[in-house]
Amino acid sequence: MKNSFPSSPFLYVITDERFLNLFNIYDAVERAVLAGAKVVQYRAKRKTAKEMLKEASLAKEAAKRHGALFIVNDRLDIALAVGADGVHLGQDDLPVEYAKEIAGKDFIVGLSTHNLKQVKEANGKKEFIDYIGFGPVFPTTTKENPDPATGVGALCEAVKVSELPVVAIGGIFKENLKSVLSCRPAAVAVVRAVFEKGDIYTNVAELMSCLGGLET
């Protein structure tokens, strides 16, 4: 049975290796999901495949135990090895059509986009893509060399143009969440807003409150 996204708008949480490791990732993901996150993406750029496999296994166990979808960033091999629900690919990663062919039609494939040209290109491959990420909407520090911030206006245009569900990403916190939600994306992806400081459960609960108050 094909995995499907929750009702919109929902919270899509992405792990950050600066704050999470083998010893705390299970508890961190579990608290995020218990507070309302519906999708968890495991992302690590500086770790070995063995380290990623161990951490992703724990994160997947925590997410699935409480009914959240689990996605792995970039690495289809890790995603398949841990039994993830899907993989999220960048513009320079494995082409989406190959990922879908290897993993099967029921496996979720997401694609990062950073401008309207890429959104339109994704429309042309929508049989291989289940959703797109669009951003960074605001400046972000979670990547070493991030793409330029798109701004809310471009996000709104992306949502209008896209034939696929759009996940807004990049520099999103509760302080600017209202402007992001005005574009009606399918989901909002957050990293630092959840894991950088404070209590993870409280952070997610506050973001969920904002989503709940603006979903009509």
Which positions ≥6 away from 11 have C-beta within 8 Å? 36, 37, 38, 39, 187, 188, 190, 204, 207, 208, 211
Q: How far apart, in Å, do the first and last CA atoms of the chain sit?
A: 29
Spatial contact of 212 and 35, defined as CB atoms under 8 Å apart: no
Q: What is the pLDDT of residues 12-35, one digit of tens each?
A: 999 999 999 999 999 999 999 999
- Are 100 and 128 in contact by the 8 Å Cβ rule? The answer is yes
Q: For residue 28, what are the contacts with CB-CB under 8 A and spacing of at least 6?
A: 15, 19, 20, 195, 200
Give the pLDDT confidence score for residue 216 in this predicted structure: 34
pLDDT (tens, 9 = 90+) of the chain, 216 residues, equals: 356 788 889 999 999 999 999 999 999 999 999 999 999 999 999 999 999 999 999 999 999 999 999 999 999 999 999 999 999 999 999 999 999 999 999 999 999 999 999 999 999 999 999 999 999 999 987 776 778 899 999 999 999 999 999 999 999 999 999 999 999 999 999 999 999 999 999 999 999 999 875 443
169: its two tokens: 């990403």
d(CA 124, CA 126): 6
Least Cα distance to 182 among 190, 192, 195, 172 occurs for 172
Question: Where along the chain do its domains lie?
Answer: 10-214
Q: How many other CB atoms sit within 10 Å of the CB of residue 104? A: 10
Looking at residue 193, its pLDDT comes to 97
- Give me the half-sphere count of Cα atoms (radius 13 Å) on the Cβ side of residue 35: 24
Active centre residues (catalytic): 43, 112, 143
| Residue 141 pLDDT | 78
Task: Measure Cα distances from 186 to 75, 79, 102 in Å.
Answer: 24, 23, 26
Q: How is domain 10-214 classified at the CATH fold level?
A: TIM Barrel (3.20.20)
The full DSSP string for 94-136 is S-HHHHHHHH-TTSEEEEEE-SHHHHHHHHTTTTT-SEEEE--
**Single-letter amino acid, residue 199:** D
